Amino acid sequence: MKNRCPSSARRAKILARGLLICLLLAGTCLNAAPLEEARVTQVVKDVKLGSPQAAPHRVAVGESFRDGDAINTGATGRSELTFADQTIARLGAKTNVSFSNGTRTVDLGEGAMLFQIPKGAGRLKIETAAIAVASTGATAIIERHGQFYVKVLVLEGTVRCYLTNRLGESLLLQPGQILIAKPDVTALPEPADFDIAREMKTCLLVREFQPLPSQRRIESEEQKQLNLIAKGTYIPSNLVILGRGTQVTLVNAPSPKPLTNTGHQSRTP
């Protein structure tokens, strides 16, 4: 009968592998610490902060946005939040957000948010209606307008979109891709392509703030699109998705594979 007991050398290898896995898991947990607090780093006009213990008040730069608080921007208001792991969240006009107890989940009730997650900061999830997006390192915009639509645009990195009410339904968005769906969607549609350079020029959450830490990576994605256009893979067109809708409007002759103008300058960002 063969001796099935592992040798000393093999036991040492098993223990070493186990220790390595533990260290990797520990590092992941540290990087993905709960979003317990953020600092308000920019305020434009009407922005209010509310908490379970106090009535809403006008927020000031440097004020803390804690677990359980809610922040709301007015018709001309915008704000920027910076979390301890250097994740940035910029809020457009008529936007309200909060984040859940002890998790890395941000709840977008209404409006538009640009988020920039540094590489290695850990997974961040943003939920709005039936749609959630998650990433471990990306710059993207998510927008919700009532019961009309939800839009997700990826500027750099990758973002996973999925349904909160249906297990297994998910879609990975690449840079330059946009997803548009109804808030109560039951199946995710296929993404379309959009013009990153145009979005960066027209989006108020970019234009009215300091350059993003991911600016160079976004510019790299812009260049990739320009290279594809030069090769004829993408052809710029006059296909327009107006800011308050989900329909694509054709204002000129169609193109084989167009870069879509999202029309975001007409909406909250």
- Ranges in the chain, pLDDT < 50: 1-4, 14-16, 18-31, 238-239, 242-255, 263-268
Task: Please state the φ and ψ torsions of residue 260, each to the nearest 5 degrees.
Answer: -90, 135
What contacts 184, CB < 8 A, 6 or more positions away? 129, 130, 147
Instruction: From residue 151, give the alpha-carbon distance in Å to each of 110, 229, 242, 263.
Output: 12, 24, 12, 12
Contact 113, 90 (CB under 8 A): yes
- What pLDDT, in 10s, does the model give residues 143-185? 999 888 899 999 999 999 999 887 778 899 999 999 999 998 8
pLDDT, position 12: 52
pLDDT, position 261: 56
What contacts 217, CB < 8 A, 6 or more positions away? 139, 156, 157
pLDDT, position 257: 58
pLDDT, position 233: 77
Q: Which two tokens stand for residue 21?
A: 């896995």
Contact 108, 127 (CB under 8 A): yes
Q: Which two tokens stand for residue 25?
A: 């898991």
First to last CA, the chain: 73
pLDDT, position 54: 77
pLDDT, position 68: 79
pLDDT, position 168: 78
Answering whether pTM is above 0.85, one says no
Contact 179, 196 (CB under 8 A): no
